Amino acid sequence: MEYRRLGPGEYEDLSSRILYEDNHILVFNKVPGEIVQGDKTGDECLAETLKTYIAWRDSKPGKVYLGIPHRLDRPVSGIVVFAKTSKALSRLSEMFRTGDMHKTYWALCCGAPANEAGELTDWLVRNEKINKSFISKPGATGAKEARLRYRLIGKTDRYSLISVQLLTGRHHQIRCQLAAMGCVIKGDLKYGAPRSNPDGGICLHSREIRFIHPVKKEEMTLLAPPPSSWKGLEPYL
């Protein structure tokens, strides 16, 4: 069940999309179209939605703290980690910075890779004016190395389901590198998809995250089911 505001002080239950929660962190399954943090659009962001929801759910009289150690692009779905204390935020931010957060993405793509598994290494240049990245030659102005590992999970006549592990964190890295490989993500018009998705999102999903809990020091592995619009994935879930 997805969140929607019903009226003053009334909220539809978000609990089905909370993947994990304790006193320190909250892990949530974002849907395409939600923004994690406020931007120039002025649309209500997920962080503020969850703050209001938690205050309503727990009958909290004061402000709810929810820190943002990382983000997902608006058209992307899947796992987002929030911090419920400043200590957790500091530790989570450092883990994302150092690569101690191990993330796996699923991409539903038009076409299939030539090889069922492999590692891609490219040099990407970001064009901020059009919010898009391009593959360039090493040494080009602003070029940054981008590396990822991929594995073909399954395919149909029209689409392939690809698992991706990021080895670097560049702007639109998965979208750009998979498109260059001939596997444009379904719905991703910016990188060459033939048509948009009805929800305006793209079929890129943050599927799994593995990390050590910032306070409890326990190993955590969490999975997020993909959006219901992804049809025919039952054999792989």
Q: CB–CB of 148/168 below 8 Å?
A: yes
What is the number of other CB atoms lying within 10 angstroms of the CB of residue 87? 13
Q: CB–CB of 37/71 below 8 Å?
A: yes
Q: CB–CB of 174/105 below 8 Å?
A: yes
pLDDT of residue 158: 85
pLDDT tens-place string over residues 147-174: 999 999 998 888 999 999 999 989 999 9
Dist. CA 143–CA 10, nearest whole Å: 48
pLDDT of residue 83: 98
**Is 234 part of a structural domain of the chain?**
no
pLDDT of residue 94: 97
**Is 125 part of a structural domain of the chain?**
yes
pLDDT of residue 9: 45
Determine the structural domain holding residue 103 and report its residue range: 5-227
pLDDT of residue 191: 97
What's the pTM value of the predicted model, to 2 decimals? Answer: 0.90
Nearest Cα residue to 28 out of 92, 98, 80 = 80
**Is 233 part of a structural domain of the chain?**
no
Q: Low-confidence residues of the chain, pLDDT below 70?
A: 1-13, 237
In the chain the beta strands, taken as DSSP E runs, fall at 5-7, 10-11, 18-21, 25-30, 77-83, 102-110, 117-127, 132-136, 144-155, 159-166, 184-185, 204-212, 219-223
Q: Strand, helix or coil at 90?
A: helix
pLDDT of residue 10: 47
Structural domain tally of the chain?
1
pLDDT tens-place string over residues 6-38: 444 445 668 889 999 999 999 999 999 999 987
125 Rama class: left (phi>0) / alpha (psi -120 to 50) / beta: beta
**Is 232 part of a structural domain of the chain?**
no
pLDDT of residue 12: 62
The CATH number of residue 137's host domain is 3.30.2350.10
Query: Following DSSP, what letter does each residue of 15-79 receive, concatenated?
Result: GGGEEEE-SSEEEEEE-TT--SS--TT-PPPHHHHHHHHHHHHHT-SSPPP-B-S----TT-EEE
**Is 95 part of a structural domain of the chain?**
yes
